[in-house]
Copies of this chain bind each other. A is one copy, B any other.
Amino acid sequence: MRPFKGPNFSLILFFLIVHVFVLLPANGFHPLDPLTPSELNQVQTLIKKSHKDVTFHYVGLDEPDKPKVLSWLSRSQPPNFFQHRIAFAVVRTNSQTHEIKIDLSSNSILSDKVYDGDGYPMLNNEEQTAAGELPLKYPPFIASIEKRGLNLSEVLCEVFTIGWYGEKNTKRAVAVMCYYIDGTVNFYMRPIDGIMATVDLDKMKIIQYRDRLMIPVPKADGTDYRESKQDTHFDTRIKSMTISQPNGPSFTIDGSNVRWEDWVLHLSFDMRAGLIISLASIYDPEKNEYRRVMYRGFISELFVPYMDLTEEWYYRTFFDAGEYGLGLCAVPLVPLRDCPENAVSMDGYFISQDGAPGYIPNVFCIFERRAGDVMWRHTELGIPGQTVTEVRPETTLVVRMVSTVGNYDYIVDWEFKQTGIIKVTVGMTGLLEVRGSVYTHKDQIQEEVYGTILAENTIGAHHDHFLIFSLDLDVDGDANSFIKSNLKTSRVNGNISPRKSYWRTKVGNYVGYRLVPGSVARTLLSDDDYAQIRGAFTKYNVWVTLYNKTEKWAGGLYADQSRGDDNLATWSLRNRDIENKDIVLWYTVGFHHVPCQEDFPVMPMLTESFELRPTNFFEHNPRLIER
């Protein structure tokens, strides 16, 4: 959905030199470290040797089995180099998808198998750019543009995955929709609606084209969000405010390992998932040991179905992680703006269409957050002659990534607290997908428009966002159980109390972590709807499955045009025992988005969060001491 953004390879070499300390941590590779640029090059070279015409769609670490990782970690002096570095690649050649595993240590291909199931791999940036350029040279499209009196040189086209609607045979195809950029950078607000091209990505040609109807292109006025394009008729300003840590941050980063307060955790970047938090453990001063909390946490899928039935819109049921890649869409964070002045950053590497490594500087930022919050407090005025006031201000550790999937910007914060809480916050901002319309004012609307009129000729379409987090909690070890705490009203019978009712629960004192959900939103699509079959994880906000290394992607490994045969809902049907087992918790953060005028031309942040909270995990509040 956007062109290759990384610098070319020579630039990568330059950064390799600068960032060498990051790539080669003191202890050598951590078993979960992401692939380095040189490892990515190794993968490219090997695959290109065995396949002539090949396009790359995903390359990432094929992580070692959990017992191996844990045994590696448990050694007091882990070996300098982890012996089992394996890469997993998904490539296309001869219109077929190949899954290739490569042993990086022995520099050899371990396996190469054709995937012949349904669905297609992630799109790479270059094929999106190429597909987006096709209409500009396609005579019927040029004629459509001329017919509308528009200037072709101001037209820009974007690629949209098309979902699956019951077709028996599918091609690896995308929809291409075009925009008029003339006088704005906010082309998303200027759709040339009513025209749609379908492109076969393997053949890289237009296989279907329809100019269905003429709709006015919304005007450019008021769409540009750049500061330089605004009238600045205000003189009040926020006075300068700075955060300083003269002695540096309180965390240390060794390779991809972060150590802060009682927490240790590992960060890695994946071109599909984006930020992956692994091996988060917390030191328990009572037990004098690090206790395992989360083996891995990441966004497994991001399902965005639109609610517009028109021909150019109905198919928009995007799987942003599986189709576009949350890592591939991650953007360099802007110092002092995306992250505060006390932040440090880490970089990420992905692969381009030809397998060459691409580079995203500042893909994560890590900072200590002191927002003016309080960790705990109490004022005691009940003791005669004595006032006790104890207040502990709160500092937290934030790891942040921003993924801009075309129009939308998702900001994801993993926040670690001194009291053992993990808080995850998702923010949504960026641009809406809007539809052109003949209407210039809401009072004119006589038919269903599937959205809100935001400006003249501009409808912001109704849609949802469902972000599902895969949370492999391993509290004090692999064997965990999930307990749903039902609070139930009990009637009081007889004369045992003047009360008539109370509530009870049977949670008990199990050592655990508690999911504290935010405001929950679930799917409103029918069970039998195609998009819902694919995104069936949205039926419930919470799922629990047995851990299975291959069950990573809640919308399926091949999410593009998937048919729902390899997703969380189908895995769950296997009905495996999940008591006292290595289990994974899945939690969906959902938003139903009814656009409003304030979302135009760029949306104020909307956030949602949830917490994983130690509950009878510690013997008592673990932070009585100020540190």
Contacts and interface: CB of A to CB of B under 8 A. Distances in A.
A489 interface: yes
A1, A499, A529: most-surrounded residue (chain B CB, <10 A): A499
A342 B158 CA distance: 46
Contact of A369 (B371, B374, B453, B454): B371
B234 A627 contact: yes
Interface string A512-535: 001011111000111011111000
B378 A409 contact: yes
Given A227-B625, A239-B248, A518-B518, 4 more contacts: A340-B372, A343-B372, A367-B372, A419-B598
A58 B124 CA distance: 69
Interface residues of A, number: 161
Nearest to A488: B524
B338 A377 contact: yes
A17 interface: no
A234 B340 CA distance: 28
A621 B592 contact: no
A429 B419 CA distance: 13
A261, A334, A596: most-surrounded residue (chain B CB, <10 A): A596
B377 A626 contact: no
Contacts of A337: 374, 377, 391-393
A248 B241 CA distance: 9
Contact of A617 (B381, B502, B598): B598
Chain A residues touching B, majority SS: loop
Interface in A375-427: 375-384, 386-395, 398, 402, 404, 406, 409, 411, 417, 419-421, 427
A380 to B, nearest CB: 6
Interface string A494-521: 0011111111110111000010111110
A253 B334 CA distance: 34
A625 B243 contact: no
Number of copies of this chain that the complex holds: 2
A423 to B, nearest CB: 10
Nearest to A307: B502
Interface stretch (A72-80, A98-106, A600-608): A600-608
Contacts of A377: 337-338, 402, 409, 411, 429-430, 605
A446 interface: no
A545 to B, nearest CB: 24
A599 B186 CA distance: 50
A614 B599 CA distance: 10
B158 A499 contact: no
A485 interface: yes
Contact of A381 (B2, B309, B625): B2
A455 B334 contact: no
B3 A376 contact: no
A570 interface: no
Contacts of A186: 380
A236 B261 contact: yes
A45 interface: no
A245 interface: yes
